Amino acid sequence: MARFRAPVRVEHGRHLRERGPALRALRPRRVLDLLRRVGELLETVVEPEIAGWSVLVAFTAGEGLGLNRAFLLLAEGKLLRGWFGVGPRNREEARQVWSEIRSTGAAPLVRLAEPDRSVIEAEQRRHASTLASLSHAMSTECGMWRRAFIARGNHPNPCVRHWTAVLDSRELVVVPLMASGQPWGVVLADNFVTHAPIHRSTLEAAETLAHYLRSALERTQLLQEYQRERRRRLAADHATALLETARTLAHDLKNPLAIAGGIARELLAAPPPDAETLARRLGIVAAGVSRAEQRVGELVDGLANRADGIVLEPVDVGAVAGRVVEAFRPLAISRNVRLLCYHPSRPVLAAATKTSIERCLENLVANGLQALVGACGEIHVAVREEAPWVRLEVADNGQALPGALRSDPFAGGVTTRRGGSGLGLASVRTLAEAMGGRVEYDEREPGWVRFTVVVRRWS
Amino acid sequence: MTVARVLFVDDEEGFLELYRSAFGREGYTVETAATMDEARARLARGGVDLVVLDIRLGESSGLELLREIKAADARLPVVLSTAYARYQDDFSSWLADAYIVKSSDLGELKRAVARCLETTS
């Protein structure tokens, strides 16, 4: 395999070998493998920041394109605004970072599968001032860009001249991203430390990666907008339902109490002259109190049995678990995974909905299977009663939960092989809470990860 | 001095009984209607000095009757009486001369009726 040596430069009278991320010729097969890996990764990403970070890491990682640093600018009105950056900020930082990477043998591309939000946020903060400096008003020539190119300081486009000046870049990779003939964004990258030559194959791969990024960002931004809209609608629906409930309560509870109280006051203020009127009015008082009492009872029952519009019913969780496990068994066998199910032989009734319990279990078993990809492990599904609760546990002895997920694995949005799009575990929580239950996660038993859905026992 | 004739419109017989007793003792001539149609029929005959109107009349809205009353005779005072305070946000309720939230204590309603009758006399 052909390898480039890092260029030897003379600086301040001494020879200095700058060794950035491993510089290798980008063979078509390696490029295709990189594009496949990044493409697969982006399919599961649901947050724009993670998409941006993942692609820029692919630009800069040694096993990626090997460029020293990369930046993404996005169009906002007539401005190209710096949004994300990856890589060292200066020569000293480069030495330190690359030395660490070499000594630890870290492979940034492998780590993409388990994005660490704190690292991404730190990277955003680290490059904040450079990104602010890179922001620049678009010139009309920006709309003429079609293909990626390598620019130098004397470039005719004022934007490019500005970027090369800000980055003090001798050769700057400029990858324009266009949408409907208008600039959508631009990726900038260079070898400002190593000054390694940038080959056509690198430029072409950079262009393809940047387009992956655009597509992922558009998708994740749409997804976020959809989720925001969904939350807005839910909030509006809840507000409407609350107002309607308030109206109904006012009518159904306040009225009988006001009648009973009012008549009682009247009886005190002006005792009726005859027993018949007294009896009738006392009857009204009693009826008012009874009606209020009945409505309070109905309200309490309704609140206990209804959550988010779900009407709870008795569900035999053991039977559901058995059916779902059997449905997954062929897939588990094909992956050499032992799938076991334990539940009492008698019915274990929970206040739930059958479809929600099924969906929770399907997501958790699928999550376990993902954690066991390439391993011959086990998944244990167990149903237990712990009055007044029913516990539905799914444990696997696959890979441990990534650090980013541990603090709140049900939060959603964090992507990893375990948890798929990051939405599976989040929907388990949503469904459990809608049934008036909760979710739990533990790794108490060494080597095992356990997720539990806890719902109220039917009584 | 003529005795004021007040028409109470409410679908709760308990309230109507309460109004008959409490406002009768105050010296008013109390008439009652449990439905919109009963109220319309009574109003058509004339002679009513003030209407105390519930907003939620079964499946009907007292606000509709309020609009009809004001369209027929804008000077006839109407006091809205309801269990739900936020109907005040409904523009239609602004046609009313007073807005009272129902309570077992009829003091506020009595004061509103007296004030409206005084204003129109």
The answer to whether position B1 is within a domain reads: no
Can you give A150-215 as a three-state secondary structure string? EECCCCCCHHHHHHHHHHCCCCEEEEEEEECCEEEEEEEEECCCCCCCCCHHHHHHHHHHHHHHHH
User: What pLDDT score does A420 carry?
Assistant: 47
Residues 278-337 of A with CB under 8 A from B: 280-281, 284, 287-288
Determine how β-strand B78-82 pairs with β-strand B50-54.
parallel
The answer to whether position B2 is within a domain reads: no
User: What pLDDT score does A459 carry?
Assistant: 80
**What is the CB-side half-sphere exposure of residue A424 using CA atoms within 13 A?**
22
Q: What residue segments make up the domains of chain A, in order of their start? A: 8-223, 227-308, 313-456
Position B88 pLDDT exceeds 70: no
Superfamily of domain A8-223: GAF domain (3.30.450.40)
Q: Which residue has the tokens 């080959």?
A: A199
Please provide residue A5's backbone torsions phi and psi, each rounded to the nearest 5 degrees.
Answer: -90, 150
What's the gap between Cα A237 and its chain centre?
Answer: 24
Query: Can you list the residues of chain A whose pLDDT is less than 50?
Result: 1-24, 414-416, 418-421
Q: Which residues of B touch A266 (CB under 8 A)?
A: 18, 21-22
Q: Does A265 touch chain B (CB under 8 A)?
A: yes
User: What pLDDT score does B77 carry?
Assistant: 95
What residue type is assigned to position A377 of the chain? G
The answer to whether position B110 is within a domain reads: no
CATH number for the region A313-456 comes to 3.30.565.10
- The parent domain of residue B67 ranges over 8-104
Q: What's the Cα-to-Cα distance from A330 to each of A222, A333, A448, rounded to whole Å? A: 36, 5, 22
Which residues of B make CB contacts under 8 Å with A?
Answer: 12-15, 17-18, 21-22, 25, 56, 82-86, 102-106
Q: Which residue has the tokens 């006091």?
A: B79
Q: Please give the residue of chain A at the shortest CA–CA distance from B26.
A: A270
The answer to whether position B120 is within a domain reads: no
The answer to whether position B3 is within a domain reads: no
Position B117 pLDDT exceeds 50: yes
CATH number at residue B43: 3.40.50.2300
Q: Does A435 touch chain B (CB under 8 A)?
A: no
Determine how β-strand A14-17 pairs with β-strand A438-442.
unpaired
Distance, CA of B77 to CA of B27 (rounded, Å): 18
User: What pLDDT score does A189 carry?
Assistant: 95
Q: Does A113 touch chain B (CB under 8 A)?
A: no
Distance, CA of A93 to CA of A104 (rounded, Å): 16
User: What pLDDT score does B90 carry?
Assistant: 64
- Better-predicted residue by pLDDT, B7 or A369: B7
User: What pLDDT score does A22 carry?
Assistant: 45
Distance, CA of A169 to CA of A172 (rounded, Å): 6
Q: What's the Cα-to-Cα distance from A172 to each of A61, A102, A158, rounded to whole Å? A: 17, 26, 14
User: What pLDDT score does A30 carry?
Assistant: 79
**CB spacing of A247 vs B84 below 8 angstroms:** yes
A115-121 LR contacts (CB < 8 Å, sep 24+)? A115/A50, A115/A53, A115/A54, A115/A404, A115/A414, A115/A415, A115/A416, A116/A403, A116/A404, A117/A404, A117/A414, A120/A49, A120/A50, A120/A53
Smallest CA–CA distance, residue A271 to chain B, in Å, is: 11
Distance, CA of A68 to CA of A87 (rounded, Å): 6
Q: How many domains does chain B have?
A: 1
